[in-house]
Amino acid sequence: MTKNKIRFTPLDAVLIVLMLAAGLFLVRRIGVDLNYRWQWPVTLQYLVRMDGGSWTAGSLAQGFLTTVKLSLWATALATLLGTILGLMRVSHSLFDRLVAGSYVEMVRNLPPLVLVFIVYFFIGDRIMTLLGIEGLIRSASPATQAVLTFLFAPPARLSGFFAGLATLVLYEAAYITEIVRAGIQSIEQGQWEAAHALGLSRRQQLRYVILPQALQRILPALAGQLISTIKDSAIVSVISIPELTFQGLELMSATYLTFEIWITITALYFILTFTFSIGVRRLESSMQTKSSAG
């Protein structure tokens, strides 16, 4: 691939100036015509504030942290589940294909909001209690509780967090399943045959020959889906998990700093997803230089 050189022309300069002017105009109009008083210093306090000589995370920063935790876990677990189900989709066993196929169809044809409620009220509320998991957590040693808090959420919010996490994992895994299936099916038949003729078992054929090539092909699609996971994590705010969107809603009803809060939240989501995209792009190009499949 040849890289197109980016050239900065006078036209670009004009466009940038125009866009800046439009932005400034909008901000001013909001201040003057809507009589909106911008209160950035107050808003930023909800991000970080000086508290008795040390910096403390405000509610927005805590929400951000919860979103990060939720996204990381959901991404990792959804990729794992999606890969397993994707392998089942191309399995020789009809049973495997049926199970994975029905799963994908069911989840993809359900509004995610409904899925959140199903998981929250059935799994979070009933099954966790039924299995005595909540009691188990409450009676755990302080050290265990500290680890759980660090990895997931404080003990009191743990079952809600797990319900939210489970929803995200179940939802995203259905899409990752299809990505993995398409990736595996895109590998030429000859690759399977060559591995077969060398006496590799089916498991070995997948592990050493098919999956490494499939992974390289599906990386862009997978990255897109994982960024979706971060964005979709906002939906679990409806079951009161104190992630970024939920914290924003709470804060807004308490302070009415609508514009500042949502602009801040937009920026925070963008930072998270954009960092992720850059990381994936790096990974992709490093894989490409290793072997450009011919």
Position 292 contacts another protein (CB under 8 A): yes
Position 1 contacts another protein (CB under 8 A): no
96 or 250: whose CB is closer to another protein? Answer: 96
Choose the stretch contacting another protein; rule: CB under 8 A; options: 85-93, 95-103, 158-166, 193-201: 193-201
Smallest separation (angstroms) from another protein to the CB of 95: 18
Smallest separation (angstroms) from another protein to the CB of 87: 18
Choose the stretch contacting another protein; rule: CB under 8 A; options: 58-66, 157-165, 175-183, 284-292: 284-292
Position 216 contacts another protein (CB under 8 A): yes
Position 284 contacts another protein (CB under 8 A): no
Smallest separation (angstroms) from another protein to the CB of 203: 10
HEC per residue, the chain: CCCCCCCCCHHHHHHHHHHHHHHHHHHHHHHHHCCCCCCHHHHHHCCEEEECCEEEECHHHHHHHHHHHHHHHHHHHHHHHHHHHHHHHCCCCHHHHHHHHHHHHHHHCCCHHHHHHHHHHHHHHHHHHHCCHHHHHHCCCHHHHHHHHHHCCCHHHHHHHHHHHHHHHHHHHHHHHHHHHHHHHCCCHHHHHHHHHCCCCHHHHHHHHHHHHHHHHHHHHHHHHHHHHHHHHHHHHHHCCCCHHHHHHHHHHHHCCHHHHHHHHHHHHHHHHHHHHHHHHHHHHHHHHHCCCC
Choose the stretch contacting another protein; rule: CB under 8 A; options: 4-12, 58-66, 70-78, 186-194: 186-194
Position 204 contacts another protein (CB under 8 A): yes
Choose the stretch contacting another protein; rule: CB under 8 A; options: 1-9, 117-125, 196-204, 228-236: 196-204
